[in-house]
Each structure stands twice: as structure tokens, then as C-alpha cells.
Amino acid sequence: MIGRMHHVVLDCPDPGALAGFYAELLGLAVTYRSDDWVVIAADDRSSGVAFQLAPDHQPPRWGDPSAPQQYHLDVMVDDVAVADVQVRELGATRLPAHDDRAHIYADPAGHPFCLINRPSWAPPVSSQAE
């Protein structure tokens, strides 16, 4: 095991509004909010669903490959530098990012995912690999 699921992240034009919809639908609380990022989860020490601002968002159309589904996974790791090597060995490709601190990859089929440093509230990932 290299990492553990952190958030499923949905791009959207209004993170607060979409988070409110899913919070009500799933019975989850808003646990984090900024201008361009909102998280809903069971509590502020749990992984959940995140909503990321995408100002030019074009909604997906089911079954239409010209407007495919839009999401990415956040995977928490104990050490991003170590995990970087491991995911590349598995076949991931590093993608360009707007920020040098972002660690964005494509899986072998091209789906994006991010490696993030494990939040302080989460137990070490490596302890669950045993």
C-alpha cells in the first residue's frame, strides 16, 4: 500500500452550493470551506467529498465522450517524495501543475489523481500496510 483514499474531488462552478446539495443528500457536514474548495465529511478528522472551483466548468453529459465525467482522487501518503517514485513505478505519469507543491498524476488510463501529505489528524498510512 502506497497511500489511503483522502477525498474524491468534483470540479464545479460553485463549490459551496454543490457541497450543500451533497451534504443534505448524504447527511454529511461541511468540514472545510474556502473560496475555491469545500469539503463534506462525517467530521473534520475524516476523509470525504471535496468540491473544487472550476470557473469554466462544463457539466458532463452521461454517455457523451465529448463531455466526460470530471473528478479526481486525492490520495494521502506519509511521504510525497517516496510515493512519487512508487506511483511512477506502477505506471502513473506526473502531470504539469499550477503550483510546484502540487503532486498531480495520471493513472495508466489517464484519470487524474493527487498525492497529498497525510493530514496530522490521520493515522500514518504505513501502519495500515502491515
Cell of 45: 478528522
User: Could you tell me what percent of the chain has a pLDDT over 70?
Assistant: 95
Q: What is the pTM of this model?
A: 0.74
Q: Is the dihedral of CA 125, 80, 98, 108 positive or negative?
A: negative
Q: Give all domains of the chain, ordered by start, each with its CATH number.
A: 4-57+70-128 (3.10.180.10)
Looking at residue 70, its pLDDT comes to 76
Q: Band of the pLDDT at 48, cuts 50, 70, 90?
A: very high
Backbone angles phi, psi at 62, to 5 degrees: -50, 125
Query: Stretch 2-12: mean pLDDT, rounded?
Result: 90
- Render pLDDT for 67-85 as a digit per residue (tens, 0 to 9): 777 788 889 999 999 999 9
